[in-house]
Structure 1
Amino acid sequence: MVQLNEEILHKVITKRPEISHKGTFGRVVLIGGNQQYGGAIIMSAEACIKSGAGLTTVVTAEKNHSALHARLPEAMVLAFWETTMIYQVLEKADVVLIGPGLGLDKAALTLLKGVLKSQKEQQWLVIDGSAISLFSEYNLSLKHPEQTVFTPHQAEWERLSGLSFIQQTDENNRAKQALLGAKIALKSHRTTIYDEAIAYYQNPLGNPGMATGGTGDTLAGMITGFLAQFEKNIDTIGAAVYLHSLIGDELAKDHYVVLPTSISEALPRYMKKYATERN
């Protein structure tokens, strides 16, 4: 077991090159937010953009477009029914996130199957929330598991792995991760990242104030934004997980509840700090 610490942030977060443009920091597509759960994908998008992703396109229910544009004018947006344009942006994406607030209906399943089928060799895929439940229920498969990250909470991991809460030991979790082949960021009060490249990473941070709706959506957006612009590996995932909780712990010193959007708001300042210290 490797316990995450601040060194992972100095290792991963780099100073932006002087000669760069928005394409330098990655093209991202985020898919989720049905008519009921639009806030989930909006929080993911905010975390992704404020962690530094260069170009972010959000595919969500048309009902959510005004709210998304009002909060995040930096994001581009498509509706679920704009199939041709969805696959055009997927074609160019460096990282795709699917699942936050997506729902479990037939349209959501169709989207997930399309994303899984279209994943390219160089493209990373983050699967969160509803998409994990659909993946498990319909026994779907991965095209490029080595470039795929699942971000389940313990109940979603139970569905994905078949392990009950009491069976979710590190040994069992690592065995199931090896079968899946994908990386697993298992969210709990002490989030653990499983990958065959290392024994596993454990995050020592986090607090009860973070136990509120949207915290996981924000983490998924951060992981996606980090993978878009930094090296695509387990260290980058670990850095996103650690910084998410580090900011949460700092906010909890003065706040009874740590709002996920407050974590996103603080991201640019914290990332500047660690990039500067590294350089």
Structure 2
Amino acid sequence: MNHFSQRPLGQTGLCVSALGLGTVKLGRNQGVKYPSAFELPSDEAAAELIRLANDCGINLIDTAPAYGTSEERLGKLLGAGARNWVICSKTGEEFENGQSRFDFSAAHTRKSVERSLKRLNRDWLDLVLVHSNGEDVDIIENSGAFDALAQLKQQGLIRAFGMSTKTVEGGLLAARESDCVMVTYNPQHTLEQPVLDECQRLGKGVFLKKALASGHLSGDDADPVQHCLDFAFAHPAVTSAIVGTINRHHLRDNIAKAKHSLSGA
């Protein structure tokens, strides 16, 4: 099967596929903003999905402590093959008893990363993003999270760090102060384009979240998924679009359409 060519993630030395596999749905089905309810997949179904993604050239997995049991499940499902993947996890948001809470302190950041390493069964993490609550600038400037991540990077426990942002100001600051920014960007949400422009100027990595609007796609286009992916990859700053699905047919479709977008066809 025709694979994705891997793209450099800014200046990190990491290379990733243009589509990343988001894994919220492997570990959490409470308090999520998807159009319809879903059951968490069995280990067998999850392993099959991961194998399909890898067979099709995807090498990037996105997870987080706030995604319920996602990290722990990935640690078991990937096993010795984990080294074939670029794994992006997060810190700052915890999801417990159906509620999110946030802690961006340096102490929690270090503890969170160490816990992710244990859950994912890794000696280091490729990328850790701060899971923002919307107060991006305050987190970067005052919480200690970025300082802790910079120390963890220096110690070799993570290779790169950044932020999953919610504001333009925070995205611009994260672009200047870290390795990678994850932004919301789709045809219905273009507000954060200045962050992409700044990342391009600085040579920093860009991950897109909600590239398919979390499944809330407009019916105005004949093929809304193709339209969204064409839109995503038209901006040269975009390294990867993170798309979460537990449906193998959707995954195959997303992969085919992403390749179509990238081919300029």
TM-score category of the 2 structures, normalised to the smaller one: 0.3 to 0.5
Larger strand percent: 2
Give the TM-score taking structure 2 as reference length: 0.39
Give the TM-score taking structure 1 as reference length: 0.38
Greater RCO (CA < 8 Å, at least 6 residues apart): 1
